[in-house]
Structure 1
């Protein structure tokens, strides 16, 4: 997680890279986050997820999704209406000294690119398989220095794997069918014969508006580093993001072939060529499937996840919230009608709990931690649109 970086300078450096190496590249800013819920249809299909995610994209996001289902969404929060994909990532919270949490909000930006280029999602606020990567060389990027304020907010970054085995759209561990480029996530080629197919490059940044809490640090559980992710992670090493393809058939491939008319990532020329549309003012929201509060000030993290560092133990919340149906789509700042309970809340006897050895109790965070990153990406059945 890069903490003090400013958007204009990072965008300049990024543009320099693209000018020299990419064939197609465009930036766009998602119009809004459609929902924040404990849902993860890649890792936990059909079930309540262990932690809350903020979601971008098509309105048909839910417990179970597919490319066909997403393409049938009635709206999308992506300004390109042909992109009804879903993108999701864990919500960030500020932890108060009394143990409660307040959600951190923000806005978004996105970049899409051809091979050796980027699809860039910068989100402040709130892919088909999972990849985990250890990257010790990037430990400074992922460190969260104690006592440092970030006037421009905190920025989380994710690179998605760019090499595919050409056969499987998913794998049992959600990662074995894809791999990173030969010299890391930022550059290289797909020279491993086991992963010969180059996918479009996706790079995602989330810009959290954490600076609004600067004058409240003295009231935090851990004033030196008061922010945690929804899965109970105060370090950022467990940060992850997911993508599920919902692009209209053929549009992404045409964009990758033709959106190379300027070096600045401006999608206007792609729109002028008729490759895709652009609507920067439309918004898209959905009502909750999981009947629980995830935003605002909460007594516990959704799922009652403990704050754990430097190690991590799996924690299972004995209480599962009710499931609501149907899900309503709305386009205003206030929600539409709420679904009714179709599966009641349940309480189970749980024996697998965190025993306390990993639970942080307000101490300062060390920057010397294993830098495990989680990457999730779903290649839809129409994966041919990703093959260059």
Structure 2
């Protein structure tokens, strides 16, 4: 179903909270405060959005994002969380690389790069959104997916990480676990949906995943119950990242053997290594108030800022290197050619 149709139906249906908002790019940098805290450069490049208190080292609880940030690239003015994924590259026939830029989603034209973020109580097409959820707590962080996944079986451990080949900006289906194999007229959308069951105790875990769980049966969309080990239902956090592949859609520039030319910044040419990270940073109880409100996208309790304000919030790079924004580069930042997976 197209987003315009969802919005129209929402206007005639009573609902509880689902929010969808844009976030401009904060920085593209080789840091990873969750997996490689304090390391600069980290093993591979990331695109990061959210609050400007971002640093290579952000200790849980000690680094209070709302109090340390002075601006955010996200539309909600109270959201100083940080969200990130790997970056995408196009590999030319001669083996050089250029970074694929991102663009704003439908409704967020004018946004500088970044992505779209959702917090949902029920699946996207459920306008009632009546399930009660507990908002993430200060110090909470998690990731989903694995850059080490190189097969579909490994990727299927994370069932809600997919790709959509956009025919236009309203395309949402079909989805695939691997990179699209044909040029996508409106870009490649990377979809990341995080688990929705929390153990209720740990704000993080050594692997940044095990304090979270998928439903014990069924799915989030089917209202599957949380397992006893992870009984607390939290919002489904979802990212939509749209990579603007238009410049690279000429099949004459693609590999002569007909294979697809896109590769993640950590060297994965299959797409199975799709992953994303999250560090919670909403101010006070602002997210819980939104989740408790009867609203769909346009929530009165969500204070917002302009796209111009979102675009003006940036941080300097921790690592000064050529990441292939304008020039073709010989290798992916931090990743030798021998590590490429295709």
TM-score tier after normalising by the smaller chain length: 0.7 to 0.9
Report whether the alignment pairs 1:70 with 2:65: yes
| Kept after mapping to 1: 8 A contact 2:143/2:208 | yes
* RCO higher in structure (CA 8 A, sep ≥6): 2
C-alpha distance after superposition, 1:168-211 (max 9, x if no partner):
11111211110013323544334311010011111111111112
Aligned equivalents of 2:230, 2:10: Cα separation in 1: 24
| Kept after mapping to 2: 8 A contact 1:98/1:221 | no
C-alpha distance after superposition, 1:278-299 (max 9, x if no partner):
3222121111111222241322
SS at match of 1:281: helix
* Structure 1: runs of 5+ lacking an equivalent: 1-7, 119-126, 308-353, 361-388
- Per the alignment, residue 96 of structure 2 pairs with 100
- Per the alignment, residue 329 of structure 2 pairs with 298
Cα gap change, 1:16 to 1:49, in 2 (>3 Å)? farther
| Kept after mapping to 1: 8 A contact 2:121/2:236 | yes
Normalising by structure 1, we get a TM-score of 0.66
Report whether the alignment pairs 1:149 with 2:149: no
Select between 277-286 and 76-85 the one with higher mean Cα deviation.
277-286
Aligned equivalents of 1:141, 1:63: Cα separation in 2: 32
- Structure with larger Rg: 1
| Kept after mapping to 1: 8 A contact 2:144/2:276 | no
- Per the alignment, residue 36 of structure 1 pairs with 28
- Residue-pair matches, total: 285
Q: CA deviation at 1:221?
A: 4.2
| Kept after mapping to 1: 8 A contact 2:21/2:75 | yes
Q: CA deviation at 1:235?
A: 1.6
Q: CA deviation at 1:134?
A: 4.5
C-alpha distance after superposition, 1:46-102 (max 9, x if no partner):
113211000011111111124644212111110212111111001011111221111
Q: CA deviation at 1:9?
A: 2.5
Cα gap change, 1:190 to 1:210, in 2 (>3 Å)? same
- Per the alignment, residue 112 of structure 2 pairs with none
Select between 18-27 and 281-290 the one with higher mean Cα deviation.
18-27
Q: Choose which of 50, 54, 60 in structure 2 pairs with 1:57.
A: 50
| Kept after mapping to 2: 8 A contact 1:40/1:49 | yes
Cα gap change, 1:184 to 1:17, in 2 (>3 Å)? farther
| Kept after mapping to 2: 8 A contact 1:220/1:226 | yes
C-alpha distance after superposition, 1:265-324 (max 9, x if no partner):
2x2xx3xx45423322212111111122224132211102437xxxxxxxxxxxxxxxxx
| Kept after mapping to 2: 8 A contact 1:190/1:197 | no
* 1:184-195 correspondence to structure 2 within 5 Å: 184-195=219-230
Q: CA deviation at 1:128?
A: 1.2
Select between 48-57 and 276-285 the one with higher mean Cα deviation.
276-285
* Structure 2: runs of 5+ lacking an equivalent: 106-115, 125-139, 146-153, 163-174
Q: Choose which of 260, 263, 287 in structure 2 pairs with 1:252.
A: 287
| Kept after mapping to 1: 8 A contact 2:46/2:86 | yes
* 1:195-234 correspondence to structure 2 within 5 Å: 195-215=230-250, 217-221=251-255, 224-234=259-269
Aligned equivalents of 2:290, 2:304: Cα separation in 1: 11
